[in-house]
Amino acid sequence: MKTYSLQFLVATTCFKIIFEDKEMFSVFREATPRLRVFSKSSEFTFVVKKCKGEASQFEKVTRKVFNLNIPEKFFSYNYCSLTVRVLISVLLMQRNVFLFHASSLTYHDGAYLFCGPSGSGKSTVVSKIPLVNRLGDDTAIVAKHGNSFYCYMSPFDGIKMPGLKYKKSRLKGVFVLQQSRENIAVRLTHQSAYKYLIKNSYFYIYTFPREAFYSKEECIKGGISVKIQKYQQMAFPMNILKALFIKVANISLSVPVSKLKFTKDYVFTEIS
């Protein structure tokens, strides 16, 4: 059977996805314009397959090759892309690379993240700035280098933001969005900041999938909870998960996290 492959960077790690379905390959390729890399060998490979059945299945073939079997009725770009992002977040956490459900942009000499549930205004905030300052619309990549955290361009948001280019910038702040009648930023306590970062991280979906992007009914129907939590028990003992949660806590200690109340006409400028 003919297959189609695509390589892309998440921070500095190269991934390859192999598709048996040409249409799905085409959509993924469209979603990662100018972000593909061919000069660097891939470190992890996902083989995405359409299958019959009721639940998605994720199996570890080798240390760096994984099969992702998705039922035909769930075989859509949104479902496949979200699943791939969750699995990538799991693989990269131990490398101090984190994926957040957030939009991101650069302003002056720093990067800023905007967290919140769907409809909170993440896309609206970044859509009002020039493309050259945008890093991502729905997924933010944060990596620790030395004692600092950096935000990388997202390789998953090319459909909404065609023309994104690979770059990184030092993370200077995180904002939790709340639509309001005024524009004001209020610094959060460390405990509140940590809670928001955890709940907006992609591995939160992996650890507590029913409380994140999908409803309980959708998780049961799609088999997400059962299959991914089974992998958690196989590959990530609780002591490792606790260590990873501590790493996310370090972000909230190192970077200011604020609640940003903003109006519909708001254009981002640095708020201290």
What pLDDT band is residue 218 in, cutting at 50, 70 and 90?
very low
**From CA 196, how far away is CA 236, in angstroms rounded?**
23
Q: Which long-range contacts link 126-131 to residues 24+ away (Cβ below 8 Å)?
A: 126/161, 126/268, 128/266, 128/267, 128/268, 129/105, 129/267, 129/268, 131/161, 131/163, 131/164
What pLDDT band is residue 128 in, cutting at 50, 70 and 90?
confident
**From CA 27, how far away is CA 76, in angstroms rounded?**
10
What pLDDT band is residue 257 in, cutting at 50, 70 and 90?
very high
Q: What is the mean pLDDT of residues 122-128?
A: 83
Report percent pLDDT > 70 for the chain: 81
**DSSP 8-state symbol, 62:** S
Q: For residue 45, what pLDDT is reported?
A: 94
What pLDDT band is residue 152 in, cutting at 50, 70 and 90?
very high
**DSSP 8-state symbol, 201:** B
Q: Across 149-153, 209-213, 215-219, which has the greatest mean pLDDT?
A: 149-153
pLDDT in tens, 237-247: 566 567 667 78
Q: What is the mean pLDDT of residues 26-45?
A: 77
pLDDT at 68 > cutoff 80: yes
Q: Which two tokens stand for residue 161?
A: 């933001």
Q: For residue 241, what pLDDT is reported?
A: 64
**Three-class secondary structure of residue 61 per DSSP:** coil
Only one residue has tokens 């390589």, namely 7
pLDDT at 251 > cutoff 50: yes
**From CA 67, how far away is CA 218, in angstroms rounded?**
22
**From CA 68, how far away is CA 81, in angstroms rounded?**
11
What pLDDT band is residue 205 in, cutting at 50, 70 and 90?
low
